[in-house]
Chains A and B, each alone.
Chain A
Amino acid sequence: MSGGHDNHGGLNLTLHVWRQKNCEAEGHFETYALHGISEHCSFLEMLDQLNEQLLSEGREPVAFDHDCREGICGSCSLVINGQAHGPDRETATCQLHMRRFHDGQTIYVEPFRAQAFPIVRDLVCDRSAFDRIIARGGFVSVNTGSPQDANAILIPKEAADLAMDAAACIGCGACVAACPNAAAMLFVGAKISHLSLLPQGQPERRRRVLAMVEQMDKEGFGNCGNIYECEAACPKGISVENIARLNKEYLGASLTARPASEAAGGF
């Protein structure tokens, strides 16, 4: 590393971190001073160092979610200075680097906040509402058997590209966290788009969107106000075009789906 931009002494930071024992407990910010943080380390590595420091002082470490630390698993979260996944576009917290902060900066770290994402502890929130939405329709049913020819199902390049863009959603929940209304429309829109654009998603297309939206509403997410902060906060750059597609799919399915009793054998 050329040391041109290095801060050799490291960054000195003041952290205000949300601490909360469990879902029912009252939470509060606790203030910590950190010294000599390398600007090359990630935000999560900075929190690791905070926890080392807390442990060495005999204090309780800060709980936070993480897994792959390479931006693909969707485990990490955090609202950093009021921004879901911090200040960078298309970047998950695990890939946010401390070089984005300056020496002497004060940083507020909060969990994703939504009624549908109850706080488990400190910065960890329970995002299983997303899993329950997926369980209602985020799948395709296929008969297993001998593999068919790879080109047996023709998929236009444009549909494949749009579906792939939607499938890039890692389900982290930043869209909900960044939405002033705590709506989950970008997540559900991405999942609906991903399957409804492909031939394999057609058999369950209408049933899927009706069930997933029903579950989304049941979980207590807010209503979309088309503010589009979700798109700006999404670490995968999922477009709000997917929300329009969700609206269209839901409108269409609501108008055309047959009652379950009539639709023997599926929709």
Chain B
Amino acid sequence: MFSRFGAFLRSSIGKKSLMAVTGLLLILFLCAHVVGNLTLYADSDGAKFNAYAAQLEALGPLKLVAEVGLVALFGVHIALGMRAILENSEARPARYKDLAPKGNRTFASMSMSITGLVVLAFLVLHIVDFRLADFSEQGLAALVVERLSSPLGGTIYFVSMAFLGVHLWHAFQSAIQTLGMRHPSYAPTIALIGRALAVALAVAFASFPVLLLATGGQWPWN
């Protein structure tokens, strides 16, 4: 059984399937993450947001399990993505003068590797900014304001969320297709759901840096 499964994971379709499954789970994570972020809008002093963060901290060993799971999801997704970039460039060593569009490509589908790499760079910055920072005195909400209200920090977060949105624009329907689900009755709806999800997530995540940039670092809801 394991040799069969190993052969599956070594195959191009197996690797793509794993990429699709990890990608879909990461989209679920992003949905949970953004709901947490939105508690910043729930009151004027960030108390609800801080309480939400404290609740996650209080999970103790469960939080560790969730973090290990996330590291595994991101790790597998990123490693397979890197490998696909290398394999695909080996699959066409001699380039065309200019491979022109024949009609089905989109900006998002053509730039998955670039948007993925930018999101990876952002992920590293984001973990350093918040996961590894000590916010026990000021509280997490104040740290968010501090990090995102500087023009550089806010711009980096805003631009990164735009890249994430472009990545997700193609990602959802691509994952569904890779897992073998396509039907003429549902394919357009699935593409639409994926794009709506991409826009909703990118806009919701980007709203904080944009508001903080616009208000010069003031709590915009005060």
Enumerate chain A interface residues (CB-CB to B < 8 A): 27, 29, 79, 81-84, 89, 108, 110, 113-116, 119, 178, 180-183, 213-214, 216-217, 220-229, 231-233, 240-241, 243-251, 254, 257, 259
Contacts and interface: CB of A to CB of B under 8 A. Distances in A.
B174 A226 contact: yes
A231 B91 CA distance: 19
B60 interface: no
B87 interface: yes
A250 B11 contact: yes
Contacts of A213: 11-13
Nearest to B181: A244
A259 B5 CA distance: 11
User: Interface of chain A, helix or strand or loop or mixed?
Assistant: mixed
Listed from nearest, the 10 A-B pairs whose CB atoms lie closest are A248-B180, A82-B100, A222-B91, A244-B182, A228-B104, A232-B103, A232-B102, A247-B180, A182-B91, A181-B88
Interface of B: 3-5, 7-8, 11-17, 84, 87-88, 90-106, 109-110, 112, 170, 173-174, 177-184, 187
A137 to B, nearest CB: 14
Contact of B177 (A110, A222, A232, A240): A240
Given A181-B84, A229-B101, 11 more contacts: A79-B99, A115-B90, A182-B91, A182-B92, A222-B87, A232-B102, A241-B187, A248-B179, A248-B180, A249-B180, A254-B5
Contact of A229 (B8, B102, B170, B187): B102
A251 B98 CA distance: 35
Nearest to A224: B16
A181 B91 contact: yes
Given A222-B91, A226-B173, A259-B3, A248 B181 contact: yes
21 contacts: A29-B97, A79-B96, A84-B102, A110-B97, A183-B12, A183-B91, A217-B11, A222-B88, A223-B88, A223-B91, A225-B174, A228-B104, A229-B101, A231-B104, A232-B102, A241-B184, A247-B180, A248-B181, A254-B8, A259-B3, A259-B4
